[in-house]
Structure 1
C-alpha cells in the first residue's frame, strides 16, 4: 500500500507482515524495498520492545520455503513484496533423532544451515568422529514402501500452510508433543527428564543402569563443555558415553515396529529415497520442530575405527549392522547367520562385565609412542615395496597362484558340470590349462582379466563347498564364471586375489596377506570347536543360555526353518569359537564379518537407462557402481570409480551422466531425485580422498562440490 508522506508525494514504502513464532504475535512494519534484512529484524525487535535474546532468530518465508539469512541483502534482492508473510523464528529447534541402535535423542539443532553441517554438529555433540559417514533419513511408514516413492517424497517435503499446520516427517500433522504413533517413538520407554524444561532429552530404557533421562540447558546442546548453572552436564557426559557406547538389548518383536523390513529389491530401493539432501537445510526439506528423524550411517566406508576413541561410533555401526541382518535388509548364509548370532550373544555377555582399559598408563606412554612409530614405518615400507614382494626379498618376483580347480561357465538350458583344470593366477589374470605340464604354453581354455569383475563367495561349510562366482564385464553385460576349490585355505588365497584384482591390484600389494587372514578368520568362526578325542562339539553353558530367545539373534527366515532348540544349540556351538573375545573385539569382529558379505554396502535405486526400455536397479557401493536386474538383483555390469572421469546431472531432463574411461552411462532415477544418486557417488569419492593423517580437518566445501551436481 502506497504511503503519502506530505499529501502530494508517494515515498514507495509498503507494509510487511511478520509473525513472531515464539510469541505468536504478528507485527506490521512499514518498509521499503531497499531495506536490508538485518534492518528489518532490528526494526521488528524495536517494535516488539521486549527484553529477550533474539540473536538466534532469523526470517523464514513459508510460501517460498526458504530462509532469508543474508543480512546485507535487501528485500528487493530477495523479491519480497507486500503480499509476503514472513516468520521471525529461532534457527535452533528441537528434533527427535533416532540413532542406529533405535534410541531416540531429543536434540536442539540448527534448522537454517545445510543438512550436512547439522549432521556434523550433531555427531560432535554425541562424541562420534567422522560425521561425513552419516546423514539424516526421513521416517517412512510401512505403507509408504508400497507406493510410488516420488509421490510420498513430495507429500513429506511439502509444508502446506493452507492445511491445519505443517506436515511432520511422517506426512501427518503436528500435535502438541510432536510425537508420532501415539507418542511411541522408540522401543525404549520414555521417562520424565530431570530439572526444568529440557532442550536435550535422552529417551532411555528402564532396564539400563541409569534409569533416567538427562537434560542440559542452552540451545547449543551438549558439546563437551560446561556452562555455568548446568548442574546436570557432568552426569550427562558420563551418561551419554555409557548409554550410546553400550546399547541395552531390545527384543526383535519390539524393534520390528521401528525397522524397515523390505521384501524385495524394489522396497530396498524405495527406502533410499528417504535420505535428506545434504546441501539443503532441514527447514527447506519440510522438517519442522519436534519432528522425528533418523540418523544412520549413509556411506559404508568406515575410516579408522579406533576402540580407544570410537566406543560410541563402533557401537552404533555394530547396531546398524545387527538390525540390518535381523530385519533381512542384507542377505547371508545359514552358517554366517550363526556366526553373527554368536557374536551378538558374546556382546551381550561382555556388556555386563568389566572391560580392559584401553588407555595406556603414564609410564608406558613413551613405549607405546615408539610402537606406533615403528608400526607406521612398517606400513610405509610395505606400501612402497609390497608385503608379498618383500617377503621374497626380490623386487622382480611376481606373486602367482597355481592350483588344480574346477571351472564352470553356466549357460541357459544346459546341464554342463564342473571340469577340472590346472589354473594360474598372475597379475590380474586367471589362465586355465588341461594339466600342469601344459602351463608353459598358451591357455587352452580361457584367460580371464579379473579387473572390474565382481567376486562373490559361494561357500557352504557343512557341505564342504568352497566356491567363487566371478561376474566378468562384457560389452553385452556380465558373464558368470564359477570356480570350485577342494580346500578352505585354497579358497581364501584365490578369493583374496580376486578381490584385489577386481580393484586393479595384484598379490604384491601389502593388503593381500591381511585379506587372506580376514577370510580365514571369518570362516574359522563358522567352525564349531571340537574337543580332542571327542566326536561331539563342546561349548560352554552360560547362566544366560536358558534365557536365549533365538528370534532375537537370527533373521526370521532361519527361525522359521530351524527348530528353536536346535537353533539355540547351533548358536552355542558357534559361540564356542568367539567366547574368548572381549566386548570391543566382538563388536569389531561382527562389523568385519558384515563387511565380508557380498551385499555389504550396496545402496539400491530404481533407474532407467537412456537407451533402455525397462526399469533396472542401480547399486552404488564404496568402490563401484553396479547395474543390476530389478527382480533378481543379478549384476549386469560393473564400473569402478577408478575409471570414472567425470559425473554430473542434466537438470533439464533429470539425468545422471557418468563418463568412464571405456563407457558413457546416462540414466534417470525413477523414484527419487537424481541429486540423491549423484550425492552417493560424489560422497564415496570424497571419502576415498581422506588421507591417513589423524588430524585432518573435514573439508565441507569439497564435499558439497563433489555431491552438489553443479546445482546451486
Structure 2
C-alpha cells in the first residue's frame, strides 16, 4: 500500500505537441522548472528547450522557472499546457502582403516586434507595433459599446471562456467563430481574428519544424517581374530573397484583400481605428492571439528617426506603402491638388519599379555606395560648416551675433464667430520667435507693434488651395496665462514664395528655433518643392497610354467620383512634374508630402472628460495632446508634453489622469482601451529622447517604464 503525503496533489498538464495529458504528483514548494523536467521523457529524442508552461484559465505564461507552484498560485484544480513558446503568426505588412513567421508568444509584444523587424531588415523597430485587424463593424460603435467577447480556453473536457485581465487591452475582433458542434474554436476564419484568405499572395503551405525566429515561408517567394507587377512564384526562395523583395511591393493587392480594407468616413470612425493596438508590455498570447492568427505590423508612432536611403530600403518602402494606403482609404484629408500629387508620385514609383526590378539598382547611386565612407565624412563636414556659419553659407560671417529677421506685408485675421470681418493688411516682422504686426513699414522703425504673437509652442497648419491662389497659415497660439483655450489667428501670403519663407519660419519657431537654424533653408526648399509638384505641367507630352492606367489604383473613392472621366488625364498631367524622379526619391517625396498634411501624425480617440457628459475627441501627436471638437475637429485646447509631470491609469474605473504644470486632466476613453492612449503618450516621449548624439542602443527597459502603466 502506497501512502501519499498530505502536502502533495495531482496536477494535470497537456503536452500540446503530442496531444497527451499527463497527471503529475507535485508539492506546492516545487519549482516550475522541476515540474517541466518531470514532463520530459529523457529517452525521447526531442528538443524541449523552446517549451514552457501556459495557464489557459489565468491567461498567463509561467516562465519564471525558479518560482514555486505556490508562488505562481497553481493549485490542484489547475490545468496547464506544456507548449512551444515560438508559434506561427500570420503577419500582414504595411504593403498588405502576408508573412507566416515564427514569433515568441511568451515574450513581451515589444520584444517580438524588435525581433521581427530585425529579420525584416527594418531599423528603429520602436516606431512600429502589432495590432489586431479592424473590421467595418468596429467603426460603427465605440469599444466600450462593443460586445466584450471572451477568449476561448481549450480544456480537456470542452471549452470554457476567459475574460482578459482588467489591465490588458481586451479588444478581441468579432470575426471569431466558436464551433459548438465539436467544442472547438473554428480556425477556418483565423481563430478569433479577421479572416485572411489562404493564399492572398501565393502563400506556400506552412512547413513543420522550422527553427524559432525564422519565417515559415515567404508569402511572396522570389517575385519575378512582369508588366502588371510581381506575379510568378519560386518556391525555393530564401529569406534573403524575401528581404530584397520587401523593398519593392506589388502594384496592387489581391481584390479580396483590398475589399476588406476599412474606410472611415468621419472623425469618430477615424478614432475607432486605434482600437486594435496590442499592449507592448504583455505577450501576444496573453492578448487573445493564438497560433496561425493574423496581426498587422504597422508604423504606430509618426516620428521617423534618421530615414536613410542607404540603410532603409525596406523601411522606406513599407513606410511609403502605409502612407499610400492611408491616402487611398481616406484616413487623411487632402485637397484635389495634393491628391493628384500623391497619385503622380505613386505612378512614378510604379514606373521606376518596372524599369528597375528587384535586385537591380532602385534609385540609389552605386558610386555613392562604393564611396560611402567618403560621403559620410563630406556630409558631416558640410553639416558642421552650416552649423557654424548659419543658413546663409557664411554671408554674415562679419557679424556672427546677428540673428536673421524676416519682414514683409501680409494679411492677418483673427477668426471669430458671428462676424463678417475679413483679412487686414499689416507689415509683419519676425524676430526672436515672435511675430510683430505694424500698420506700416515706417511705423515698424519707430513705434511699438500693434499686435505681437509668441510663436513658441504654437500649432502651425497649412491652408493652401493652389487653384484659388490661396496661401494661408493657421496658427493656434497657447494662452499667455496658465489656463484658457488656444487663440487662433490666420496669416495669408500673397504668393507661394512668400508662403514658403513664412511657413518655414513659423514651423521652426514653434519648435523654439530661430531663422539662424541650419534647417531653415532646407525647410523653405522643401515647401517650394511640394507646391511645385502640385501644379499641372501645361502642354507636357503624354507618352503613356491612358488605357494602361487604372485610376482605382491611384485615387480614393471620393476623388474618383469627383474627377470622374478626367481622372486618368489629370493623373498623367500631374505625373509630368515628377517623371524625372528615381525610385527612392519618389518614395521619399511621397512620405514628405504625407508628413506635410494638416492632420498627419495625430492619433484620435473618443473620450469623456471627468464631470462632462458630452463625448469629445482627444488627438495624440508626437509632442502634444489636443482637446478637439467631435464633429469639426477644431482644436479647443493643447497640452504639450514638456509641461507634463506625470500620467497614469486607474485600472479599476478605466480612467486616465495626466498631471500638467498648472492643471490635472482626467478622462475616460470610449473608442479604445485607456491603456492604448497611455502607451501612445509614453511611446512618443520615448521617441523624443532619441538623438544622433546618444548611443542608439534600444533601451527596452526605458520604453516599458514609460508605456507600461505600472511605474
Q: Same fold (TM over 0.5)?
A: yes
Are residues 309 and 77 of structure 1, via their aligned partners in 2, closer, same or farther at CA, if it must alter by over 3 Å? Answer: same
| Secondary structure of the structure 1 residue equivalent to 2:704 | helix
Secondary structure, counterpart of 1:392 in structure 2:
coil
Query: Corresponding residue for 1:71?
Result: 65
> Does structure 1 residue 57 correspond to structure 2 residue 51?
yes
Asked if 1:200 is matched to 2:216, the reply is yes
Measured against aligned partners, the alpha-carbon deviations of 1:564-602 in whole angstroms (never above 9, x if no partner) come to: 2x2212111111110001111111110111011111111
Secondary structure at 2:705 match in 1? helix
Q: 1:85 Cα deviation (Å)? A: 0.5
Distance 1:348 1:582 in 2: 11
2:90 corresponds to which residue? 96
Counterpart in the other structure of 1:84: 78
1 CA distance for matches of 2:678 and 2:8? 45
Matched, 1:106 2:100: yes
| 1:369 equivalenced with 2:390 (yes/no) | no
1:466-488 deviation digits (Å, cap 9, x = unpaired): 11111223343232211111111
Distance 1:408 1:186, change over 3 A: farther
Instruction: Tell me if the contact between 1:134 and 1:295 (Cα under 8 Å) persists in the aligned partners.
Output: yes
* Residues 218-246 of structure 1: CA deviation (Å, up to 9, x unaligned): xxxxxxxxxxxxxx5xx413431343111
Counterpart residue number, 2:615: 615
- In the alignment, which residue of structure 2 is the partner of 1:345? 347
Structure 1 residues 624, 148: closer, same or farther in 2, change over 3 A? closer
Distance 1:238 1:513 in 2: 40
Asked whether 1:488 is paired with 2:514, we answer no
For residues 154 and 600 of structure 2, the distance between their equivalents in structure 1, rounded to whole angstroms, comes to: 39
Mapped contact 2:11–2:76 kept (Cα < 8 A): yes
- Contact 2:95–2:249, Cα closer than 8 Å, also in 1: yes
- Whether 2:480 is the aligned partner of 1:468: answer no
Alignment CA distance shift 1:647-1:182 (3 Å): closer
Secondary structure in 1 matching 2:668: strand
Q: Distance in 1 between matches of 2:352 and 2:108?
A: 40
The residue aligned with 1:667 is 667
Partner of 1:587: 587
User: Is the Cα–Cα contact under 8 Å of residues 626 and 635 in structure 1 kept in the other structure?
Assistant: yes
Distance across 2 between alignment mates of 1:361 and 1:321: 27
Greater displacement, 552-561 / 392-401: 392-401
Summarize the Cα distance change of 1:478–1:159 in structure 2 as closer, same or farther, 3 Å threshold.
Answer: farther
Instruction: Tell me how far apart the structure 1 counterparts of residues 355 and 625 of structure 2 sit (CA, whole Å).
Output: 43
Cα deviation, residue 301, structure 1: 1.1
How many aligned residue pairs are there?
677
Q: 4+ runs of 1 displaced by more than 6 Å? A: 164-169, 180-183, 194-199, 357-364
Match of 2:249 among 230, 242, 247: 247
Structure 1 position 619, deviation (Å):
0.9
Q: For 2:513, what is the secondary structure of its paired residue?
A: coil
Match of 2:391 among 370, 377, 387: 387
Mean Cα deviation higher: 186-195 or 440-449? 186-195
User: Residue 331 and residue 364 in structure 1: after superposition, are their counterparts in 2 closer, same or farther (change >3 A)?
Assistant: closer
**Residue 402 (structure 2) aligns with:** 397
Matched position secondary structure for 1:431: strand
SS in 2 for 1:387: coil
Equivalent residue, structure 2, for 1:228: none
CA 1:710–1:251 in structure 2 vs 1: closer, same or farther (change >3 Å)? closer
Find the counterpart in structure 1 of residue 264 from structure 2: 262
Which residue in the other structure is 2:444 paired with? 439
Residue 149 of structure 1 corresponds to: 143
Task: Evaluate the alpha carbon distance shift between residue 187 and residue 437 of structure 1 in structure 2; reply closer, same or farther with a 3 A threshold.
Answer: farther
Task: Provide the secondary structure at the position in 2 that maps to 1:477.
Answer: coil
Residue ranges of structure 2 left out of the alignment (5+ in a row): 163-171, 179-184
Q: Does 1:42 align with 2:37?
A: yes
Deviations 1:61-89 (A, max 9, x none): 01111000011110000011100011111
Q: Which secondary structure does the structure 2 equivalent of 1:203 belong to?
A: coil
SS in 1 for 2:478: strand
In structure 2, do the counterparts of structure 1 residues 255 and 41 end up closer, same or farther at CA, with 3 Å as the change threshold? Answer: closer
Check if 1:525 corresponds to 2:533: yes
Query: Could you say which residue in structure 1 is the equivalent of 2:233?
Result: 212
CA contact (8 A) 1:102 1:258 kept: no
- Which stretch shows the higher mean deviation, 604-613 or 83-92? 604-613
Cα distance between partner residues in 1 of 2:337 and 2:362 = 33
What is the TM-score normalised by the length of structure 1? 0.89
**Correspondence for 2:548:** 547
Comparing 367-376 and 191-200, the one that deviates more: 191-200
Match of 2:182 in 1: none
Kept in 2, the 8 Å contact 1:407–1:421? The answer is: yes
**Other-structure match for 1:224:** none
CA contact 2:143–2:672 (8 Å) conserved in 1:
yes
User: Secondary structure at the residue paired with 2:402?
Assistant: coil
2:537 counterpart SS class: coil
Check the 8 A contact 1:252/1:552 in 2, yes or no. Answer: no
For the pair 1:172 / 2:172, whether they are aligned, the reply is no
User: Quick one: structure 1 residues 363 and 499, their matched pair in 2 at CA, closer, same or farther if it must change by over 3 Å?
Assistant: closer
Deviation digits for residues 80-106 of structure 1 (CA, Å, limit 9, x no counterpart):
110001111111111111011110011
Please report how far the alpha carbon of residue 254 of structure 1 lies from its aligned counterpart in structure 2 after TM superposition: 5.0
The CA deviation at 1:612 is: 3.5
Given that 1:466 and 1:484 are in contact with CA atoms closer than 8 Å, whether structure 2 keeps it comes out as yes
What's the counterpart of residue 315 of structure 1? 317
Q: CA 1:699/1:462 → structure 2, altered by over 3 Å: closer, same or farther?
A: same
- Do 2:471 and 2:499's aligned partners in 1 also have CA atoms closer than 8 Å? yes
Greater RCO, CA 8 A, separation 6+: 2
Q: CA deviation at 1:369?
A: 2.2
Change (3 A) 1:660 1:396: farther
TM-fit CA distance, 1:555: 1.5
Structure 1 segments unaligned to the other structure (5+ residues)? 215-231, 531-536
**Alpha-carbon separation, structure 1, partners of 2:368 and 2:655:** 60
1:417 aligned counterpart, secondary structure = coil
CA gap 1:448/1:326 in 2 versus in 1, 3 angstroms: same
Change over 3 Å in CA distance of 1:112–1:384 after alignment to 2: farther
Distance in 1, matches of 2:254 and 2:484, equals 44
Deviation at 1:385, TM superposition (A): 6.1
- Conserved in 2, the CA contact under 8 Å of 1:388 and 1:399? no
Distance change in 2, residues 1:287/1:169 (3 Å): farther
